Amino acid sequence: MAKRKTKFVCQECGYESAKWMGKCPGCNNWNTLVEEIEASSKRGQHIFSGVSKGASKPESITAIESQEEPRITTSMKELNRVLGGGIVMGSLVLIGGDPGIGKSTLLLQVSAQLADKQLPVLYISGEESTRQTKLRADRLGIRSDLLYVLSETNLFDISNQVEKIKPAFVVIDSIQTIFKEEVTSAPGSVSQVRECTSELMRLAKTNNIPIFIVGHVTKEGAIAGPRMLEHMVDAVLYFEGERHHTFRILRGVKNRFGSTNEMGIFEMKEEGLREVMNPSEIFLEERSQGTAGSTVVASMEGTRPVLVEIQALISPSSFGNPRRMATGIDHNRVPLLMAVLEKRVGLMLQNQDAYIKVAGGVKLDEPAIDLAIAVSIASSFRDRPTKPDDIFIGEVGLTGEIRRVSRIEQRVQEAAKLGFKRVICPENNLDGWTPPTSIEVIGVRTVQEALETSVEQ
């Protein structure tokens, strides 16, 4: 008998080695190399010996006909927005998120909505039995004869059921539990995840069936398995939010059929996930009036403007090195803006602890929120509240200047719709458009000028 060949594969990055090593050279993680049996296959030995009969030929890009991808629209407008207008036929979509965040609930609700439209749906659960899935469906009030539930982890049996039922939509929950018999490693390993995803991609493309797969996440928040997994699929969606908060955010980080900047907001209820059609009003409904350190910013999430409250707490430090903590924004941005306030405005913040938070569990990463953060820090330090009807928009430079931002019209219109009276924004953004008559737009050039305009006398 031929000797079986073994290899060691990193479970984090997919690096392969002929011998075991304590530290992976690919990702520098410790104790991630796992021994796997190398599959013996003669396929591919003569790959360059000749041209295959069915080889495709290059075409001129002007000769290729342009056409819209057919889509399936769900009853969730927020999901349709994140996907770029609906579910594309034959696409493979990966959804990741923390345990218990609501991934299975979301996909089960989407499956029921499509089944109600007389589309056969196959929901495959590798982690729960059919009775457990039924209990969740009863809690969500789902009753549809065209929603088929299968508890299976063998990829060969799953493929047979898909070929037999011919569903219009397939859910795999989750990819870490599915295994392929030809691969000798355990389910959830790099080799199994890679091979199973490749087989599901072939199944989706050949049968023109959209397939949604659920992926586990690591403690760092990234989807478990090789990074190649995100490159193989057509779209990658992250389901974010604090488990103890009711709001959930569905964010697209990759989408071959739409924008990657869109965001959908849901609220977790007892009967399942409910869409939040006006997130700005929800995020600001508990805002306290007349409190120092509170400002409102108009942030763009894809094509949608969202008004969010930013809170700051500045207090004297009891230690030699003051603390800088931030939730919902990049923590490196806080000391940068505090240095600008100290150098350009004259605020002595070097012995002050700073705590910054974005209310509602939202994560903001665009530069247009700089001015709101700087004003909230100054407001808390001086213990003087800002005017409650003010909106702050602008990027802060290291010299203290306020730089222009994109899509100022949409931000101002959203602020006017919610009843705000003034918008403090970069002066360079005032040209080329007409603001609504119900709101005053004030252009500023520096942080000092913005603070003089905003803080109540």
45 Cβ contact list (under 8 Å, min separation 6) = none
Sheet holding 352-358, edge to edge: 324-327, 352-358, 304-316, 294-301, 390-392, 422-426, 440-444
Ligand-binding annotation for 426, yes or no, is no
Ligand-binding annotation for 173, yes or no, is no
- Round to whole Å and give the CA distance between 169 and 333: 43
Residues 379 and 455 sit within 8 Å (Cβ to Cβ): yes
Ligand-binding annotation for 104, yes or no, is yes
Report residue 380 as tokens. 């808390």
Tell me, what amino acid is at 226?
A: P
Residues 105 and 133 sit within 8 Å (Cβ to Cβ): no
Tell me, what amino acid is at 284?
A: L
Q: How far is CA 265 from the centre of its chain?
A: 11
Ligand-binding annotation for 144, yes or no, is no
DSSP-H helix ranges across 233-307: 279-284
Closest of 151, 152, 146 to residue 167, by C-alpha: 146
Residues 418 and 284 sit within 8 Å (Cβ to Cβ): yes
Strands, E, within 286-389: which ranges?
294-301, 304-316, 324-327, 352-358
Ligand-binding annotation for 361, yes or no, is no
Ligand-binding annotation for 157, yes or no, is no
Sheet holding 6-10, edge to edge: 16-17, 6-10, 33-37
182-208 burial: b if 16+ Cβ within 10 Å, else e: ebbbebbbbbbbbbbbebbbebbeebe
Q: β-strand 422-426 against 390-392: which pairing, if any?
A: parallel
Q: What is the DSSP letter of 286?
A: T
Helices 370-382 and 333-340, packing angle to 10 deg: 60
Report residue 188 as tokens. 């959830």
DSSP-H helix ranges across 168-258: 190-207, 228-232
Tell me, what amino acid is at 211?
A: I
Helix H or strand E segment including 381: helix 370-382
Ligand-binding annotation for 98, yes or no, is yes
Ligand-binding annotation for 50, yes or no, is no
| Binding site, annotated residues for ATP | 97-104
| Binding site, annotated residues | 97-104
